[in-house]
Amino acid sequence: KQLLFARGGVSRLSGIPAGVHSLALLLMELQPGNDASQIMAADALYQLGRVEEAYRLLLSIGPSSPRASILARLALLQLHRGFLYDTNQLLKKLIHCGDTCCLRPLLAVAQQKDRTLLQAHCHTAAKRILEGTKEESAVREAVAYLSIAIMASGGEADDSLLERARCYALLGQRKTAIFDFSAILKRHPKHVHALCGRGFTYLMLNQQQECTNDILSALQMNTDIVTKDILSLKDKARKLVCDWLHQFCRSNLSDILVTNAVPCHEELLRKAFIIGGALMRTDCRDPRWHLLYVDTLLAKGDVKAAGAHLGQVFGQEPRDAVAQARLGVVEAWQSNYRCAARRLSKLSEKESSSLDFLLSLMPVNQRKLIAQAAAEEASRVSSGGHWDQALTLLNVAVHAVGNQRLQYLRQRAACLSQLGLHEHAIADLDKVIQRHQGTDSSCSDEPRVWAEDLCRRGRSLLICSREGAALEDFTRALELHKDQTVQCVETGLGRLCLAECFLRGALQHYGEQQLNKAWAFIECGLIIDRENPELRRLKAKVKREVTSPCNVN
């Protein structure tokens, strides 16, 4: 019990060091050679300001005593006396012992000025080591010095925590590094270097969201520092963090445009402007960063600045399709819709997924006018047989207004059919025909138009070898408007061809004894080709079977 009391006596009785010293002397007399009582006596002498006596007493302790505890006290006393070289040698020995935890009870009773001196000394020593080499053994030694500095500060030495976190990251102890960075950020949420450090550590762990969030928070605090830190990364890491920031910004900008009409309020675009500016500073040669900046300017409605930046980076007549498309958006804002449609159509050849985004950078009324101009231009070029060009223009028209204008879908379906892309044509006509279900059947021309749409889809279905679905479309078209259907067949598949299709369908139903269905196909076939002998014979045969009496045995 006396020994346990002696080990912690100074800390418990720190307010009365003279009493502790007397107690320690008594224990030394009662138990000669007891190291714990001698250490307690030295601690009491230190608190009484009798540093020389404490130092001599510690030196007198035998070599069998716990070396780490004595080395820690000798280092603190030498630092107090101003002997820095001796302090450093003693600290090195303490670190090599691998037991720096013995400093905790000592620091609990150390004078504040000595704790401050120890913190500064150890931090400086660690920095000196790290400036010399980054070998693993040196980094581990620096971690030990920094740990002592942090203990001396009571865990609040942000500079030492920051350096130690970076050391842990170098040693591959990334979760430990994140713990140190987070300790700083818990007290100082806007600490730029800690945010960057933790973000880059998340980068090494391939945690994209956490990395992006930290780097973005840091950028909002100080763009200059963060940009400099990003530039200090190795090429692969720098490229990855820039790509992640770009992805975040693209996604964020798209989300803003979904819920807000352009021009957007500048505060909504603050993150996009910050990230875009930082990315351009990291590598001004990458066109993606410039395009992002231009898109942000367009979302803000600053068309003049967007056009100027495009011209400065890509030239007055950009060769690249994505840059041309942005110039098309600028021209749309300037009411030059025909040129805008042509430029946007260039993009749809290579990167149609970006078309919707660029169209969202325009007000709704401009999109309608763009669609109209694109459809008119498509009609002009298709009359000359340039179906490829017409298709890209019609892509712009359809994307600009969605399914609001069925005529653009019809035009594109016709163009796709001319190019032999019948499956895509069917997909467009599916959307058109679905819209017919909700139309006003009282319109005088609606059955005619509906029948024509069904005939067009039926033709493409036949070419795609989907004969059953095609015959259903033609049957429905004949029910809606017989004359229009016959006219479409004459200018498309031809009467003979479609009649043969109906004959095959009727024969199949007849073979399956589905006489009603067979009869319906025969009737449709004869409307298309009244003189078809095979259909006439099959009709008579079916008629006989339907009218003949049933014999039951």
pLDDT tens, position by position, 136-171:
999 999 999 999 999 998 888 999 999 999 999 999
Q: How far apart are the two ends of the chain, measured CA to CA in Å? A: 116
Q: Hey, what amino acid is at 459? A: R
pLDDT of residue 349: 63
CB 169 within 8 A of CB 201: yes
pLDDT of residue 190: 94
Q: How many residues does the chain have?
A: 553
With residue 46 as reference, give the H or E element that holds it. helix 35-47
pLDDT of residue 5: 42
For residue 539, what are its two tokens?
């009709």
CB 188 within 8 A of CB 194: yes
- Which ranges constitute the DSSP H helices of 260-354? 270-282, 287-300, 303-314, 321-333, 337-350
Taking the C-alpha atoms of residue 507 and residue 409, their distance in angstroms, rounded to an integer, is: 35
Distances (CA, A) of 241 to 26, 205, 236, 442, 496: 66, 12, 9, 61, 65
Taking the C-alpha atoms of residue 158 and residue 170, their distance in angstroms, rounded to an integer, is: 18
pLDDT of residue 10: 43
Phi, psi of 222, deg, nearest 5: -155, 100
Nearest CA among 525, 455, 534 for reference residue 497? 525
Q: How many CB atoms lie within 10 A of CB 499?
A: 22
Distances (CA, A) of 102 to 8, 40, 72, 526: 12, 14, 7, 105
Which residues of the chain, if any, have pLDDT below 50? Answer: 1-15, 440-444, 551-553
Hey, what long-range contacts does 405-411 have (CB within 8 A, 24 or more apart)?
405/371, 406/431, 406/432, 406/435, 407/375, 408/371, 408/375, 410/453, 410/456, 411/375, 411/378, 411/379
Taking the C-alpha atoms of residue 409 and residue 205, their distance in angstroms, rounded to an integer, is: 48
Hey, what long-range contacts does 45-53 have (CB within 8 A, 24 or more apart)?
45/21, 46/73, 46/76, 46/77, 46/80, 46/110, 47/10, 47/14, 47/17, 47/20, 47/109, 48/17, 48/18, 48/21, 51/77, 51/80, 51/81
CB 233 within 8 A of CB 259: no
Taking the C-alpha atoms of residue 148 and residue 161, their distance in angstroms, rounded to an integer, is: 11
Question: Cis peptide before 549, with omega less than 30 degrees from 0?
Answer: no
Place of tokens 């346990």: 4
pLDDT of residue 132: 86
Domains of the chain: 1-110 (1.25.40)
